[in-house]
Amino acid sequence: MRITYRLASTAVASLLLVSPLLAGCNRNPNVEIVGSYFPGWMISLVVAVALSFFVHALLRRRGMEGTLGHPVVIYPGIVLLLTCLLWLCFFA
């Protein structure tokens, strides 16, 4: 009796751990643009690169470009941040 209870509790625990992972499979993350399907992250990346140019111009206009640090680290980080935010807002 004790062994079956342990097996049942293990099965329930594993089901509870796996079910959130399977819930993400309910929607196709592709978007149709002019007859071709593109992944949502790719669209978010293109928009994020365009927005990062806007952020760069804004920082340069305010005179804050030199205070951020190394641009090689900062601007890819801004692109990654904007990509993830856009993807979460529109495709998740």
Residue ranges covered by each domain of the chain: 28-90
Rounded CA-CA distance 11/5 in Å is: 10
Residue 66 DSSP one-character state: G
pLDDT tens digits for the chain (92 residues)? 455 556 567 777 777 777 666 666 556 667 777 767 778 888 899 999 999 999 999 999 998 888 888 889 999 999 999 999 998 888 77
Distance CA 10, CA 14 (A): 6
* pTM for this entry: 0.64
**pLDDT reported for residue 32:** 74
| Predicted local distance difference test score (pLDDT) of residue 54 | 95
